[in-house]
Structure formats: structure tokens, C-alpha cells
Amino acid sequence: MPYLFTSESVSEGHPDKVADQISDALLDNFLAFDPESKVACETLVTTGQVVLAGEVKSDTYLDVQNIARETINKIGYTKGEYQFSGDSCGVISLIHEQSQEINQGVDRGSKEEQGAGDQGMMFGYATNETENYMPLALDISHKILQVLSDLRKEGSEMPYLRPDAKAQVTIEYSDKNVPQRIDTIVVSTQHDEFDSDEKMLERIKNDIIKILIPKVKAQLPEYVQELFNNDIKYHINPTGKFVIGGPHGDTGLTGRKIIIDTYGGKGAHGGGAFSGKDPSKVDRSAAYAARHAAKNLVAAGVADEIMVQVSYAIGVVEPTSIFVDTFGTSKVALSDGEIAEKVMELFDMRPFAIEERLKLRNPIYLETAAYGHMGKEPRTVTKVFESPYNGRVEKEVELFTWEKLDSVEKVKEAFGL
């Protein structure tokens, strides 16, 4: 029987995403000046205030207040009427040194024997329903908000846009789990004051449907464009006026958008947030490694859809378990348990091995903190970091290494494909 499935995304100006971006900007700066930094940084944002907290072990010192302000300004919170601005907000730092009791379980004499930074389970997921092996509803939700952000920054076609926004997409699937059509699109965007609430709603709805959606469709492959239809139900700013938003409208915290960060409700989630954590924290690094494994397995043709779970004990080098679920889509004559055994052989899931394989001790994390940690195009960029205490550092780094399809041939060989 056909069914509906929904995923949502939020913009870079959503208060929780503001917090995530500040936490990852701090992490990047610590890693730029001291790649061995151990960081677990949390951020709270509210009306006119930013609170930074967490644990750090590093040989560098940063102007964390200035990094937070620069991040807020880049997002677009630059005006006094937003009641939250990088130039005027208060920034309180409560960051302190990491506990030695935690650190002794992670750092060892040999880096190869580095223990996991915490216990827990992490999930990776991939599906061949999109070109980037991501769930379709989430992928479209991200794109809606990325294009909306581009329109806001460009400023001429929808000049009233403010930074905070959310999108949600509902897709109808056949009983064989194949997308049939887009059923519903929800977009809520913060905006400037209008003379008339009625005119405001009419203009925003018209602009979303006539300007935004065509630009989104143009970025999608033809088979996805065909899912758009004249019967889509649109809910545009369904509560009406949305002038008060961002951290003034709602307090934001690091790590409150973990489903948006991953797979939009498809697969599973172990519960651990990513932003603000250095790669010794397996909440982050092992989730990336599990995505890398799942994506390469699906791309190699092992199954149409795969979820990989990996689990750890704090301070222990080897994972406590690896689990695979192909949801009945396996293309090989092996059970899911036998596939999991091969995954253990193909992908080294020890914490340091993950850091090395995916090049995670680099300042690569701010780019992950909005519009999803998974599904983005891997690329090489040059990043520049400046500090009044440490001078200037320029680094060429690879972003989204866990999205590389660099193990497909290895997987095919192992599975005889």
C-alpha cells in the first residue's frame, strides 16, 4: 500500500543552527592552531546573548568572543531590529579544561591505540533513491532552504527575507518504496515588517511558489523534477506573520537538530550530536565513518538501502559491535550478519584509524553545521584563520571526506560484484 514519508530541514539562521555553527567555528579555530586539540564546545543563543560552555584541552588560546561574533555576522544577523546581532550581542565564555579522567582513556602511548572518547552507538545510512545516496525528502528540504538563503543574500527578488527559516517535504512512496510524487511542501520564513499582513502572506506565498520552487527544481535531476506536480499542497508561513525569529524568537542550543544533520528520520540515530566535538568523540567521527561505509556499499551494489551501526566503550580501541541492516534489499547471497563481518574487514573502525582515513584532524567542520553533515559534495578548499595570539594560518583541507566513493572497487572485489 502506498505511504507518505516526511523530512524537514532548517536554515543557517535557525537558532539551533546558529549555535551549531558557533560551536564548529570554535572547533575549527582550535584545530587550525593545534590539530591535537580535544574540544567539546556547547553554545546557547538567545535575545542579545551568547553563552559558550564546554571542555577544551589545547596548546592554543583563542579570542572565542570574536569568533562567535564573526560567525553570527556571516549568517546574516547584522541588524538591530533582529534583537540579535554579532556586533552588539553579549558573549559569555564558560569554557574550561577537559577532565583528566576522560583524557586518560583517550590518549595512549601509541596513537593507533587511542581509545574511544565515549561509549554509545552511531549509525550510517545510504539509499540509492538519490544521486548523493541520501533520503529524497531530506535532500529536497535542504535544497529549498539553501536556495532561499541564496535569495536572501542576493537580495533583489525576495528583499524582505530574514535569516530564520524551516522547510518540510512529504513524499508519497509506492508499496515497493519508490517515490511517486511530492504530496506537501511546508516553508516558514522569517521576514521584514509589511504594511499589511494580508499582502505579506500573499506576496510570500507567491514568491515561494513562483520564484523559489522553480530554482530548486532546476537544481534537481529530471527524475526528481517529475515528482513535482500541480496538486502539491503548499503551506507557506502557515501561522501567518513571522517577523520575530532567530535567537530572539527562540533560544538555540548546540545539538538539537540531529535528525536534520543526518538522514531526516530514515535509518536510525544513536542520539549523539556532532557540532563542537573534535574527532576523538566517536559520536561524530564514527557516524561519519558509518556513513562512508554505507554509501560505498550501496554504490557498489551490495544493496539498494543500507544502515550500518557501530558501537564503542569509552577508552576501548576496538568497536564493541558492528551491525548491518539492508532492509530486504540485499543483492548478494549473504545474510546481513555476514555482510557486517565483511564491513569489519573492509573498514577499520578504530577511532584513530577513522581520524586518519577521513582526515578529521583538520579545520573542516563549520561547513557541516548547516544543511546536513551528510550528502554534500567532497571538495578541497583553502581556509584562512587569524588570531591575535597565534598569527595567521592558511590550510588546504578536504571537506566531506566521508562522502567519497573511494572504496567502491574494494567493496565490489570483497563481495564478488
Give the residue extent of every domain in the chain: 3-10+135-244, 120-128+281-415
For the stretch 356-400, pLDDT in tens is: 999 999 999 999 999 999 999 999 999 999 988 889 999 999 999
- pLDDT score of 240: 86
Asked whether the predicted pLDDT for residue 178 surpasses 50, the reply is yes
| Cβ-based neighbours of 341, under 8 Å, separated by 6 or more | none
231-252: average pLDDT: 92
Summarised one tens digit per residue, pLDDT across range 320-346 is 999 999 999 999 999 999 999 999 999
Reported as a single tens digit per residue, the pLDDT across 47-71 is 999 999 999 999 999 999 999 999 9
How far apart are alpha carbons 205 and 372 in whole angstroms?
Answer: 26
pLDDT on residue 102: 47
Over the stretch 28-54, which tens digit does the pLDDT of each residue have?
999 999 999 999 999 999 999 999 999
How far is the C-alpha of 402 from the C-alpha of 390, rounded, in Å? 30
Segment 63-88 shows an average pLDDT of 94
296 HSE (CA, 13 A, CB side): 25
The answer on whether 242 is annotated among ligand-binding residues is: yes
Residue 345, annotated as binding a ligand: no
How far apart are alpha carbons 310 and 305 in whole angstroms? Answer: 17
Does the annotation place 16 within a ligand binding site?
Answer: yes
* Residue 283 pLDDT exceeds 70: yes
3-state class (DSSP) for residue 65: helix
Is 395 known to sit in a ligand binding site?
Answer: no
359 known member of a binding site: no
Residue 101 confidence (pLDDT) above 50:
no
For residue 315, what pLDDT band results from cuts at 50, 70 and 90?
confident
Residue burial 113-133, b: 16+ Cβ < 10 Å; e: rest: ebbbbbebbbbbbbbebbeeb
> To the nearest 10°, the Cα dihedral for 207, 211, 215, 221?
80
Out of 80-84, 98-102, 320-324, pick the least confident. Answer: 98-102
The reply to whether domains 3-10+135-244 and 120-128+281-415 share a CATH topology is yes
Give this prediction's pTM: 0.95
CB 308 within 8 A of CB 296: no
Mean pLDDT score across all residues of the chain: 94
257 assigned to a ligand binding site: yes
Q: Is residue 256 marked as binding?
A: yes
Question: Alpha-carbon distance 187 to 21, whole Å?
Answer: 22
Return the pLDDT at 112: 64
pLDDT at 196: 85
User: Is there a binding annotation on residue 38?
Assistant: no
What's the confidence (pLDDT) of residue 98? 63
3-class DSSP state of 252: strand
The average pLDDT across 249-263 equals: 97
* 273 is known to lie in a ligand binding site: yes
pLDDT at residue 80, rounded to an integer:
87
What's the CATH architecture for 120-128+281-415? 2-Layer Sandwich (3.30)
143 marked ligand binding residue: no
pLDDT of residue 390: 87
Q: Residue 188 above 70 pLDDT? A: yes
Q: What is the mean pLDDT of residues 259-288?
A: 96
- The verdict on whether residue 79 carries a ligand-binding annotation is no
Does 193 belong to an annotated binding site? Answer: no
pLDDT above 70 as % of the chain: 96
Provide the CATH number for the domain formed by 3-10+135-244 in this structure: 3.30.300.10
Q: Does position 407 have pLDDT exceeding 90, yes or no?
A: yes
Residue 243: per-residue pLDDT: 87
pLDDT at site 95: 93
How far is 91 from 68, CA to CA, in rounded Å? 8
Average pLDDT over residues 199-221: 95
* Contact predicate 158/152, CB 8 Å: yes
Helix/strand/coil for 285? helix
Instruction: Encode pLDDT of 103-121 as tens digits.
Output: 555 555 556 667 777 889 9
Q: Return the closest-CA partner of residue 165 out of 184, 176, 149.
A: 149
Consult the annotation and say whether 98 binds a ligand: yes
